Every structure is written in C-alpha cells, then in structure tokens.
Amino acid sequence: MRVVIDQVSQRQQDILALARLHGRVSVEELAARFEVTPQTIRKDLNELCDSRLLSRIHGGAVVASGVENVSYEARRLVAHGEKRAIGEAAARLIPNSASLFINIGTTTEEVARALGDHEDLLVITNNLNVATLLYRHPKMSLIVAGGPVRRADGAVIGSAAVDFINQFKVDYAVIGASAIDEDGTLLDFDYREVRVARAIIENARRVILVADKLKLERSAPIRVGHLRELDYFVTDALPSADLREMCAAHRVALVEAGAEAAAQETSDAAE
C-alpha cells in the first residue's frame, strides 16, 4: 500500500487525506480548494480509483472499502442531511409503547435522536452512542448490552452481547449496513458486529433497515443478511430498479425519506 501511495502526486495524496478525514470528497470543493479545473480533479480521482485508493460516486469519491473502513467520526459527516431525514422517517414507523433493538451505526443513531417525542419505549442497544442519546429520556426505558466495547465507535460486540440479545423478543429492530449489494445482500466489515446484528434480526418481529443510497456504491466482505429478511427499508433514495423490484417481490415496505422531504418542502412553499 505504501508503494501505491508513493506513486501518486502530492495533490492526490492531499485529496486522499481529505477523503479519509471526511469520508467523501466532491469535485467542486476540491477544484476550489486546489485552484485547479474540475477536469484536473476528475483525472486525479480517476487515477486514485484506478489504484483502488478511492471509489467514485456521483460528483466525487469516497474511500475505497477494500482499503479501509471510513472512520466512525468521518462517517457521521457523510450524507448527514440524508441520514437525519432517514432517522426521522424510521422513527415515524415506531409507535409509542413499543420495544426495539437499535444497533451500531451513524444512521441508527439518527433514529435514536428522532425518538425524543416517543413515550413508553423499551430500547435495547449495543451502541453506546445511542445509550448516551437516550439514557436521560424520562419516558423511555433503556437497556445496554454487555461485552467488549469497540474503541473505534462505541459498539458492544462479541459473544456476551449476542447471548444477552438472545434473551429478548422485541417489536422492532433498527439496523444499519456498511454496504448493500445489487443482489440484495447486506454487508459489513466486522464478523463480531455481524453476529450481534444477526441476533438482533432473529429476535425482532419487524426489521427496519436504515441506509443511505451511498451504501449501494460500497462493498464489504461479510454477509449480514438479505433484503428479503426486512419489513422496512428506509433510505433517502433508491436508484436501483433491481432492488426496488426486490423490495416489491418480498413485500419490503420502501420508504424514501429524500422524496418525503422534497414533498414537504414543496407543500411548505405552497402555503
């Protein structure tokens, strides 16, 4: 890997550092930052992608999942507005007086944040960030899974967490995924996290996946499950016709929060 990085220009190394810091970079922002043309930046990004250091997305690039998983703090900044809209849309699916799991993920945290007006919820989580968001809520009961804590993101993982989760049967599971394959496979990076996610899926009556459309452009090595196991798929937008058809075929309710937000903005403007 060091040999590959040494072969790129200083500007490309700076672009790579920015991508690793923020999770993604855009052609427009990079052109302004380095005072070069968008065409020059596109050439830089193409070369970095050819070296498998970045992966192209519309309008820019993200860190290639084959190189490393983007840091948790950086992931919070990626598609933040979309994740907030997804969290609010998913929270609307959960009624008062429900029990639910919430697992690790920056988008699942947005669901937790949006549950503030709910009452009489029982929330079970292996995500210390979710616990921090919810533990002061006066009308919510919170249970945190025990086990080793992953320092990178505050996830409680391992066999102890799996055994703990297997004691429950809840109304809803709110899960995330690092990547979604075109065949509907849900993917992640850490097999220990996947074991916890599997336990969460298997012990919930309804499963809600929350994931922005960028997950369709990434890959990860470990299978979490499949789209057909879901009851709801909440995203900002779903450009894939194949996945859209798959949702319909398996009766997975598709909620596109980006479309909802746009419709609300149009309605507000009309008023």
Q: Which pLDDT score is estimated for 5?
A: 43
Residue 38: helix, strand or coil by DSSP? helix
Please report whether residue 270 resides in a domain. Answer: no
Q: Is residue 60 domain-shared with residue 79, that is, in the same domain?
A: no
Please report whether residue 271 resides in a domain. Answer: no
Q: Is residue 57 domain-shared with residue 91, that is, in the same domain?
A: no
Q: Is residue 59 domain-shared with residue 96, that is, in the same domain?
A: no
Q: Is residue 125 domain-shared with residue 16, that is, in the same domain?
A: no
Last residue of a domain, one of 68, 95, 125: 68
Helices (H), 57-117: 72-77, 80-91, 106-114
Query: What CATH code is carried by the domain that includes residue 40?
Result: 1.10.10.10
Please report whether residue 34 resides in a domain. Answer: yes
Structural domain total, the chain? 2
Helices (H), 170-240: 191-202
Q: Is residue 109 domain-shared with residue 167, that is, in the same domain?
A: yes
Residues constituting the chain: 271
pTM: 0.74
Q: Which pLDDT score is estimated for 267?
A: 44
Q: Which pLDDT score is estimated for 260?
A: 58
211, 81 Cβ separation under 8 angstroms: no
- Domain of 11 in residue numbering reads as 2-68
Last residue of a domain, one of 47, 68, 89: 68
Please report whether residue 80 resides in a domain. Answer: yes
pLDDT in tens, the chain (271 residues): 443 444 458 898 889 888 877 778 899 999 999 999 999 999 999 988 887 778 888 889 887 654 445 556 666 666 778 999 999 999 999 999 999 999 999 999 999 999 999 999 999 999 999 999 999 999 999 999 999 998 888 999 999 999 999 999 999 999 999 999 999 999 998 899 999 999 999 999 999 999 999 899 888 899 999 999 999 999 999 999 999 999 999 999 999 998 655 444 444 444 4
Those residues with Cβ within 8 angstroms of residue 91's Cβ, 6 or more apart along the chain or in another chain: 111, 114, 115, 118
Burial class (CB in 10 A: 0-12, 13-18, 19+), 106: buried
Tokens of 245: 């058809």
Q: Which pLDDT score is estimated for 167?
A: 97
Q: Is residue 85 domain-shared with residue 25, that is, in the same domain?
A: no
Query: What CATH code is carried by the domain that includes residue 146?
Result: 3.40.50.1360
